[in-house]
Every structure is written in C-alpha cells, then in structure tokens.
Amino acid sequence: MLYLVGLGLGDETDITVKGLEVVKKAERVYLEAYTSILLVDHTVLESYYGRSIVIADREMVESNSDEILRDAANVDVAFCVVGDPFGATTHTDLILRARELNIPVRTVPNASIMSGIGATGLQLYNFGQTVSMVFFTDNWRPSSFYDRIKENRDVGLHTLVLLDIKVKEQSLENMARGRLIYEPPRFMTVAQCAQQMLEIEEERQEGVYGPDSLAIGAARVGAKTEKFVAGTLKELCDSDDALGPPLHSLVLLGRRAHELERDYAREFAVNTESWDELWGKHYGKQ
C-alpha cells in the first residue's frame, strides 16, 4: 500500500494518530520537501516518529517516482506531505502512477493552509480560487494570477495567495553547465508579495487591488508562533518585521466581507482606526 500522510502545518506533533500509526509500521518513509516545509527539521520528525526518513525533493518526486513506488504493491510505503496530501497537484500525479502499477493507495488527511487560514477570522466559504505568487526576476514577471484574482474580486470573494518558496534550486548558469550546485533556500514574504501585486496592478490598470485595498498577512499558520497583520496592501509592504520568519501567506479581501470578519481581524490591524474607516469605504458601514 502507498500511504499519503498529511503532517499538518506546524511541527512534529501535528500528525494525526492514524498517520503516526502508518508511519511507524511502513517499510519506508519519505518526506516531500519542496511544495512546503514544516517549521522543524526532519531530524525532529525522525526522533518523534521513531523512524528514519528519506527526503523526497522535486527531482525524486517528479522524475524518479519509481523509487518511491518500489515494491509498494507488497510492502507499506509512507509518503509524508506538509499540510494535506492533496495540497499540491504533484501528489495527484503520484497516485495516478501508482494506479498504473496496480498499487493500492490510501490517504490520511490533515490540516492545510486552505483550512488553517480560517484563523484570520475570515469565513472559509467566502474564499474563491487560491493563487500562487512566484518570485519576479528582471526578465520574468508572470501575471496570470492577476486574472484569477480579478475573477474572485468580481464575485466578491476573498483570495488566498500562496507565496513562493525556493528549495534546492539551481541558478541558470549552474544548470546550463550541468553543475549540481544549489542556491540557498528562499521564502517569499508578505511584503514582497504585496509589492509585486501592486506592481502588476500598476501595469494592468484594471482596478482589482490598489494600495488602499484591505488584506491580511499570515505567518506560520498553525504553529505556536503564528502571526497575522491586517491592513492595506501599502501597509503590508512594510510588514516583514511584524510577521517574522516564514512561511507567509496573504489574503486579499473580497467585497462580500462580513462585519464579523471586520471585527475579528481588527485585532491584527496595523491601525484600527484606518482599518474601520477603509472597511466602511470598501464594504459600507454594515
């Protein structure tokens, strides 16, 4: 059996009882380590689970899945995923490959950022499509996310923006020269995301989200040190010190925002007076 085990969002203790039982009895245990990360090192997981763990990077999962699936028709293999197993399409692809080999598959769900973001006080059924924001470069500034954000905005829904992480990435030069030298890990911050959003708004000029649009920055959701900052996109461009270390996410508020959401998020506001004032401007006094 191939088991896809969700680990939750914070640390080694977030695994479910069912998931821990699977990990303890599995022949091999893998940890997917590129679509997201836990806030503790994998050695902490090994100590807590009582098992050695193989780190599965992007190359292994996408190009060498045969190793993960090796003999999984006869023994139990645990593939551990930060958050929920279906938080990334890569894992759907792994299941399809297992099916082709007649390997039974079972999933053990857990909390993900898609549900954990409710800690902002925003109601989950008011969210639309989730989008991803990647690091811009001098000659690569993809803006397809903008169109999906606009679709959410048009129907009044919030948008959860997942921020880019770079783990075990090669520079273009090293890749071209075939050198297996990897860049230091990088994690996008809410401030960087807010700035890039405003840059694309300036380019597109479609009035989707501007400097005084309301948003909430989130850091380390689900962990003991989770932190939220609510304010305008312009204010969130200076939020790094307040939010602290990764991982970060950003929520752009939609027009259907409810007064209960306003009151809950006021706790995190950079400026409570301007938060209420802009809320009234964007959403009415309610």
Is 9 annotated to bind ligand?
Answer: yes
Is 42 annotated to bind ligand?
Answer: no
Write out the two tokens for 140.
């690569």
Is 115 annotated to bind ligand?
Answer: no
Is 181 annotated to bind ligand?
Answer: no
Is 84 annotated to bind ligand?
Answer: yes
Q: Is 270 exposed, middle or buried (0-12, 13-18, 19+ CB in 10 A)?
A: middle
Helices in 29-119 by DSSP H: which ranges? Answer: 42-49, 58-63, 65-69, 89-100, 113-116
Is 248 annotated to bind ligand?
Answer: yes
Is 112 annotated to bind ligand?
Answer: yes
- Selection from 51, 57, 96, 47 nearest residue 76 by Cα: 51
Cα end-to-end distance, the chain, whole Å: 53
Collapse the DSSP code of 264 into the 3-class scheme (helix H, G, I; strand E, B; otherwise coil) and give the result: helix
Q: How many whole angstroms separate alpha carbon 60 and alpha carbon 269?
A: 42
Sequence ranges of the binding site for S-adenosyl-L-methionine: 9, 84, 87, 112-113, 163, 221, 248
Sequence ranges of the binding site: 9, 84, 87, 112-113, 163, 221, 248
